[in-house]
A and B are shown apart, each in its own frame.
Chain A
Amino acid sequence: MADPVTESAVLDALRKIEDPDLHQDIVTLGFVKNIKIDGGAVSFTIEMTTPACPVRERFNSEAREFVSNIPGVTAVDVQMTSQVRPTRADQKNQLIPGVRNVVPVASGKGGVGKSTVSANLAIALSQMGARVGLMDADIYGPSIPMILGVKEGPKVTDQNRIIPPVEHGVKIVSMGFFVQENEAVIWRGPMLMQMITQFLGDVEWGELDYLIVDLPPGTGDVQLTLCQKIPLTGAVIVSTPQDVALKVAQKAVVLFQKLKCPILGLIENMSYFVCRHCNEREELFGNGGARRAAVDLDIPFLGEIPLATEIRTASDDGLPLVISEPESPYAKAFQHIAENMAAQVSVQNMSGAGQVNITF
């Protein structure tokens, strides 16, 4: 008769699975939980750092394979769960205590598709099972309500708390809810600061894994206020591939660097265009510029999104592509980037960098 299956044999087998982003095995990382052994039947849970984990299928199949290879094992039951880690718990007076990660989406230049990217990323994360909020901090040109087809504005409680509307599973707050469509916001710095503070502290965000913040273009008051008010997890930079856009995107990178906000990575939008008649790939702005810039700047490259009429019409119709055509190559591009972003969030949080313990 074979020796009984031991817990340490199971752990040794699982130690062979390495997380490609965190560069450690899943046992050392503490992902393996609830090991139960009943004769030859082994069950356990793998708790990942995000439901949007890009390697969840591989973890699952490798775990099954490696454990079933242990002599004496007759059945393997793997449960996959996730627990998103918070950025840091040490900042007192937190405006948004229930929000685990805040990810601003920034660009240097305007018109690179930041809002469309933010909206599709937020929904993609929510579709993968994460709890997601989307703050439209583009005070001057709020476009998130239109892109997401938000029909009803927020409700305000008797205590002056703002209850955000939920669209496609994502909680949304936008300046667009508070100004008439044909009005303009003409504000100086202190007013912007107040608005951002309210969008953080006065909104009932509840428990969120990711709060995506769609920033206005540039390096101004909104960016600075956000970096001062809360500990940001890391910024995502969106750029188109041409040199002029990338040069300006670099300025956005420098702003976050100066404020010690990590950069989760660079997204290349409007990467290329596929002609619908001849299927030829047209590199309108040159291709691969952002990928090269990411290497030069030593920041992760999160992925590229093609220029496509479908993406534009979906945004204008208020039904983002990841909802309307989730199987299309465009939606896949957003989903892939959402996974890469979630992985970078985990890398940041597991590294423990930037944890300052203040006792004064």
Chain B
Amino acid sequence: MAAVSSINPAHVPVEISRANQHDVRIRWQDGHVGVYPARYLRLRCACAECVHEFTGEALLKPSAVPVDVHPARIEAVGRYAVQIRWSDGHSTGIYSFDRLRLICPCETCLPTAGA
């Protein structure tokens, strides 16, 4: 059995705040800081309305997302994720901390940032 109990500190945020009027800034427990442009985050929503549950096919059309889309509110989901209520009314997406770290768009992470 492999050790699984330790929670990777790189995947736990310390602070989620406003980078500016629209964009989200995340400071992680390991000291890393990433700024997520609002629309970038909205287009990466992984909920069943935006991504097909079985095939993984993208259902969300970027053209359908307003250019100035931004989070209206961000709430914690337990200890592992946040739920974002968007200005376009969408709110079913849960962004796990693991995934947020994976898609960090900063210069260091970007080459490996997932779709």
Contact = CB atoms under 8 A, between A and B. Distances in A.
Contacts of B3: 296-298
Interface string B8-47: 0101111111100000100001000000000000000000
B78 A353 contact: no
Nearest to A294: B5
A293 interface: yes
Range class of the B interface residue count: 20 to 34
Range class of the A interface residue count: 20 to 34
A2 B13 CA distance: 54
Contacts, number: 93
Given A356-B12, A360-B71, A228 B78 contact: yes
Residue among B5, B7, B14, B80 having the largest count of chain A Cβ atoms under 10 Å: B5
Nearest to A230: B78
B14 A253 contact: no
A358 B16 contact: yes
B75 A261 contact: no
Contacts of B76: 90-92, 231, 356, 358
Residue among A92, A258, A355, A360 having the largest count of chain B Cβ atoms under 10 Å: A360
Contacts of A92: 75-76
Contacts of A257: 4-5, 7
A253 B79 CA distance: 15
B4 A297 contact: yes
Contacts of B29: 353
B78 A358 contact: no
Contact of B4 (A254, A355, A356): A254
Interface in A255-283: 257-263
Residue among A231, A253, A293, A354 having the largest count of chain B Cβ atoms under 10 Å: A354
Given A227-B78, A232-B78, A296-B3, A360 B97 contact: no
Which secondary structure dominates chain A's binding surface?
Answer: loop
A34 B23 CA distance: 48
Interface in B73-96: 73-82, 94
Interface in A123-173: none
B75 to A, nearest CB: 6
A82 interface: no
A360 B74 contact: yes
A253 B5 contact: yes
B5 A299 contact: yes
Contact of A360 (B2, B24, B79): B24
A22 B16 CA distance: 28
A6 to B, nearest CB: 39
A59 B1 CA distance: 37
B6 interface: yes
A229 B75 CA distance: 11
Interface of A: 90-93, 227-232, 250, 253-254, 257-263, 293, 296-299, 353-360
Interface of B: 1-7, 9, 11-18, 24, 29, 71, 73-82, 94, 97
* In the A-B complex, the 6 residue pairs with the closest CB atoms: A260-B80, A298-B3, A360-B74, A296-B1, A299-B5, A259-B80
Given A231-B78, A357-B16, 7 more contacts: A90-B76, A228-B77, A260-B78, A262-B5, A354-B79, A356-B15, A358-B76
